[in-house]
Amino acid sequence: PPLIAHHGPAKVLAVCNQKGGVGKTTSTINLGAALAEIGRRVLLVDFDPQGALSVGLGIQPHHLDQTIYNVIMEREVDVENVIMRTNVADMDLLPSNIDLSAAEVQLVAEVGREHTLVRTLRPVMDRYDYVLVDCQPSLGLLTVNALAAADGVLIPLECEFFSLRGVALLIDTIEKVRERLNPKLEITGILATMYDPRTLHSREVMARVVEAFGEVVFDTVINRTVRFPETTVAGEPITSWAPRSSGAKAYRSLAREVIAR
Ligand code: ADP
Ligand code: MG
C-alpha cells in the first residue's frame, strides 16, 4: 500500500440506518478494510450492544472485561486501553457487548449526554484517518451520539421496496442533529446494498432511490451474495476472505468514492 506519512485528524463516519439487517455492520467492516488496504489508518467503533462488528472481526465480545461501555460511563477508563489491535486488515477496534444497552438508559440523566462519544474519541483522533462507527438499528441516544461525533453519515439502504420508508425519518434526524448539536454533519452518501441485478424489483427500487436522492447515492452498488454471510462466519472482511470477488471489488470502489467526497 502507498505510504502516508501523516495520519489524522480522523474523519468520523457514522454508518446509520434504524432498520436492522440492511448491511451496516458488513459495510463498516469492509469499507474499513478497503480503506486500510490503501494505507489509511482505520478505527472501527462497535456502537451496537449486539457486538456484531466485534464478532465480524473474530472477537468474542462477551468475554471482554472492558468495552466502549466502560469508556463512556467510567471517567477513569482510558480509551487507549480499550482499543484492540486486531490482526484483521490492520484495523483497530473499539469493541462493544451487551453492557452497552445499559448506557442508553444511564446516559439520559447526564449533562452533555449527546456528546459522550465525541469526548471518548477525542484523545485518539490524531492517530487515525478514518473512524467508522457502526450504529445500532434505532434512532435513540446512542445513534444521536454517533451523529454528534460524525463528519459524515453513510446510509446503507437495502434494495427492497419498503426500505425507502424509513429514510425520510433518518434524514430528518440527521438534520435536527446538524441544527442543534453538530453543524459540520453531512450525508456522505447512500449506499445501495443487497442489490440483485437479475430482478426487476431490485432495478426498480434502485431507480427510485436515485430519483429521490440523486447525487448523494454512491455509484458503487453492493450486490446480494452469500459471500457476505460467509465472511461473518470467518470473522474476516471480504477483501481478505475473497480478495478477487466482486464484493471485495465493490467495497474497494466504495472506499475510493468515500475518499473523493
Ligand atoms: P445490519 O448491521 O444493518 O443489521 P448486517 O451487515 O449485519 O446488517 O447484515 C445483515 C445480514 O445480511 C448478515 O447476515 C450479513 O452477513 C448479510 N449481508 C450483508 N450484506 C449482504 C449482501 N450484500 N449480500 C448478502 N448478504 C449480506
Ligand atoms: Mg449491525
CA–centroid distance, residue 66 to ligand 1 (Å): 27
CA of residue 247 relative to chain centroid, distance: 17
Q: Is the shortest distance between the CB of 163 and ligand 1 below 6 Å?
A: no
In the block, residue with C-alpha cell 465472511: 231
Residue 150's contacts (CB-CB under 8 Å, 6 or more residues apart) are 12, 13, 14, 133, 182, 185
Per-domain residue ranges of the chain:
11-260
Q: Which atom of ligand 1 is nearest to the CA of 20?
A: 4
Ligand 1 centre and the CA of 52: distance in Å? 10
pLDDT at 165: 85
- Asked if the ipTM is above 0.90, the reply is yes
Query: Which of these, 237, 213, 166, 177, lies nearest to 12 by C-alpha position?
Result: 177
Residue % of the chain over a pLDDT of 90: 84
* Average pLDDT value over all residues in the chain: 94
- The model's confidence at residue 2, banded by pLDDT at 50, 70 and 90, is low
| Class for the domain spanning 11-260 | alpha beta
What band does 4 get if pLDDT is binned at 50, 70 and 90? low
Q: What is the mean pLDDT of residues 248-255?
A: 98
What is the rounded distance in angstroms from the CA atom of residue 130 to the CA atom of residue 45? Answer: 11
Q: pLDDT by residue (tens digit) across 36-83?
A: 999 999 999 999 999 999 999 999 999 899 999 999 999 899 999 999
Average pLDDT over residues 223-246: 92
pLDDT at position 5, please? 59
Q: How high is the pLDDT of residue 89?
A: 84
